Amino acid sequence: MEEKKTVAELTIFYKKQRLTSLIFDKQETADKFLESITLFFNEKGKKRFSFSGEIKTVYTPESIVGQLHDYTEGNAKPKGTILEMMKIIDGLN
């Protein structure tokens, strides 16, 4: 199976409502962006904006097919998003 590629997702909230999500090549880039943008905030901005971050797996057609194949062959258990997707599909049957 190919090596997993990940990205960092940074979600920005304004007054506790989701404003947007940004995707970065790695966590360090997201951290630098967050550090830079918060320098522009006054006290009101610091109170009104909040952030959450998550590392996400980047799936390719090959990685999805590979995980499903390994699962059907009993060689591996799916993880993360693929596992959650399979649980939902299984629940529909």
The total of other beta-carbon atoms located within 10 Å of residue 31's CB is 14
Alpha-carbon distance of 79 to 67, in angstroms, equals 9
One domain for residues 45 and 67: no
Say whether both 66 and 26 belong to one domain.
no
pLDDT in tens, 49-65: 999 999 998 888 888 78
Answer yes or no: do 53 and 93 share one domain: no
For residue 12, what are the contacts with CB-CB under 8 A and spacing of at least 6? 18, 19, 20, 21, 22, 49, 50, 51
Q: Answer yes or no: is pLDDT of 48 > 50.
A: yes
Give the per-residue pLDDT at 1. 47
Residues spanned by the domain of 89: 60-93
Task: Give me the mean pLDDT over the 27-50 stretch.
Answer: 95
Q: pTM value?
A: 0.70
Query: Looking at the DSSP assignment, which residues form a beta bridge with residue 56?
Result: 7
Q: What is the pLDDT of residues 1-36, one digit of tens each?
A: 456 789 999 999 999 999 999 999 999 999 999 999
